[in-house]
Structure 1
């Protein structure tokens, strides 16, 4: 589900803490400048090789720098059968960090 950053954070905050995952699909050098608290970093290009690290039974909230990579990650996860995905597709990390 593609969302604005505000919609994304509203849903993330309302989701059960034990049933959600915040997935940062930016590159490690981008994450070095900061990431959202509680997120795990798996760059979009590594999703296939690291798929087993993702608890697919959870609601997955995906973000990147601007939305494009998060959308690609969602498509990949949906293709693998993961249906509970939310994407910050109209913005990214810089805007999201102001909404926490």
Structure 2
């Protein structure tokens, strides 16, 4: 069973994502994008994922720490973000199966 607090946090985060997806293009049209802002926006998704995973690792999640390390190695070797994420999911699933 999912923790009610976790459910509400996910619900709020989903609402914020929806709001930014709907309003973001209009706001960016009014503001305009320079090279610095474009680079910041392109790295935003990775920063969010790292923040979420860092919280898990800080809580002592060895499976997550191993998955992050494997993901980093896969990304450096394969140069493909999707392949690296699939590798991380496979490692985390294997860790769950082996009860790490």
What TM bracket, shorter-length normalisation? under 0.3
Q: TM-score, normalised by structure 2?
A: 0.25
> What TM-score comes out, normalization by structure 1 length?
0.25
> Greater share of helix residues, 1 or 2?
2
Tell which structure's C-alpha radius of gyration is larger. Answer: 2
